[in-house]
Amino acid sequence: MIYELAAGFASALTPWNLLMCFAGVFAGQLVGALPGIGPSSAIALLLPLTFGADPTSAIILFAGIYYGAQYGGTLTSVLISVPGEPSSVMTSIDGYQMALQGKAGVALGIAAIGSFIAGTISTIGLMLLAPPMARAALAFGPPEYFALVVLGLTALAAVGGSVLKGLTTGVFGLLISTVGIDQQTGVARFAFDRLWLLDGVGFIVLTVAIFGVGEVLSSVGKPTPAPITNVANVLPSRAEWRASRMPILRGSFIGFFVGVLPATGATIASFIAYIVEKKVAKDPSRFGKGAIEGVAGPEASNNAAAAGAMVPMLALGVPGSGTTAIILGALIMFGVRPGPELFEKNSALVWAVIASMYIGNLMLLIMNLPLARLFAQLLRMPYAWLYPPILALCVAGVYSQANSIEDVWMLVGFGALGWAMMRYDWPPAPLILGLVLGTIFENSLRQSMTLSHGSVEIFFTRPISAVLLACAAAAVLAPPLLRMFRPRVAAV
């Protein structure tokens, strides 16, 4: 492992990859702070620019955007009480109260330090946990891959508010994945004699449409609250640091282990960290009124969860969040198959990305402490100046992929669909994942059925496949069952 990590650092420390890492964390910070654009949109917009580029550099860039945005979201939580990301909701409770008390700088400072510590701890966890998990999963055959895809789709569907809506969009993604030539039989499906449909609906087209155009349309016209831009003294005092260090440590471990579990992610991690801090506090009544532990714990946990979510994504090919679903799609676009074979066949890429996460976390800390005030000023930027060039970038990016105007028309159509989905809280991430995993799903089903001579028992008699399918069933059934029993529990 030490040798692989050293090789990873050698790759990550090349000038180009270092630049990509810096560009990623900086862009992540920006998109986390700017209104109406998140890490998913940013990665979607950059996908066409990285098409044909070195996969290692591109994934370093995307990973940087992912964990950089976790901190960027903190700025909006603390300064305008509007979480940039759902995982920053808990930070906004005490962070904004601290800002109102003139302690915005300290809140941002402790968030930066906590994010650095949590990011480093969780990257160590990723390094220790992902390779053995991938090794254990090397025994996977077609039925296990089939079950993994089912688990990935159901787990991601369960992350959003409504499992039913998540499943619907996931199945819609699978449905779209059947457009084009069937790779095993050579039959053209749903192409309607159109040459441009024979290659199917492109991952870039759908991702840019949903997370680029759809996000713009759903953000247009929303008012942006005026920020508190008085950010001073970002370094915490000795007493503030003493109050924060244990919440940061607890948040790091909670975040990492919650992030590793499919169907959880950074949002749930930050909720749990906040509740834990409130439970262990000597005076819980301070929470909600500007308690620094209420910022330190959730911030550490949501950053740790970002690295934790990379564990199942890299080792099993099961993403735990919308952004990791897009990174997974990007890996497949580059011809790299995430999952058990990744650490064997593409170990140089994986270890370079892991090494870049150590470097990126350090960059974030160095950048955030002195530049917190500068990033706070970004919140004043009106969205009206941002979205027209974003739309033009979406058009250029999608056109550049295949020089196809039809792709651009699909961008408009799916963009409208993405807007409608976001408007009525239909989660878009399962749709992307369905498209990305559709081919693997179909191939592994066919191979499994051929192995079993047409019997579906193969999925339930092989232990790993059975366990994965049971987890998938639990991911679907648990939320409605919990909702059903909650009133009775509350009544007791």
- List residues near another protein by CB under 8 A: 49, 162, 164-165, 167-168, 171-172, 174-175, 178, 182, 185, 187, 189-190, 213, 216-218, 220-222, 384-385, 387-389, 391-393, 395-396, 399-400, 403, 405, 408-409, 411-412, 415-417, 419-421, 423-426, 441-442, 445-447, 449-450, 452-454
What's the rounded Cα separation, in Å, for the pair 266 and 163?
18
Shortest Å, Cβ 72 to another protein: 22
Question: For residues 222 and 242, which CB has a smaller minimum distance to another protein in the complex?
Answer: 222
Q: In angstroms, what is the minimal distance from the CB of 212 to another protein?
A: 11
Distance (Å) of CA 376 to CA 89, 226, 373, 427: 18, 11, 5, 29
Helix, strand, coil percent values for the chain (each to nearest 5) = 75, 0, 20
Q: How far is the CB of 308 from another protein (least distance, A)?
A: 30
Assigned token pair, 62: 């995307």
- At its nearest, how many Å lie between another protein and the CB of residue 384? 4
Nearer to another protein, 213 or 315 (CB): 213
Residue 243: CB atoms within 10 A of its CB come to: 17
CB of 391 to another protein, least distance (A): 6
- Contact criterion met (CB below 8 Å) for 143 and 441: no
As a whole number of angstroms, the distance between CA 260 and CA 155 comes to 12
The whole-angstrom separation of Cα 45 and Cα 35 is: 16
We find the least distance from the C-beta atom of residue 383 to another protein, in angstroms, to be 9
374 contact partners, CB below 8 Å, separation of at least 6: none
CB closer to another protein out of 49 and 249: 49
- The residue among 248 and 417 lying less far from another protein, judged by its C-beta, is 417
> What Å distances lie between residue 244 and 67, 112, 119, 275, 344, CA to CA?
21, 12, 16, 15, 40
Q: Which is nearer to another protein, 16 or 366 (CB)?
A: 16
The answer to whether 94 touches 289, Cβ cutoff 8 Å, is: yes
Beta carbon of residue 37, minimum distance to another protein (angstroms, whole number): 15
Other beta carbons within 10 Å of 59: 25
Say if residues 300 and 251 touch (Cβ distance below 8 Å): yes
Q: 261 or 417: whose CB is closer to another protein? A: 417
| CA 492/CA 480 separation, integer angstroms | 19
Complex with another protein: residue 199 or 369, whichever CB lies closer: 199
Residue the block writes with tokens 């449409």: 209
| CB closer to another protein, 229 vs 452 | 452
- Smallest separation, CB 449 to another protein (Å): 4
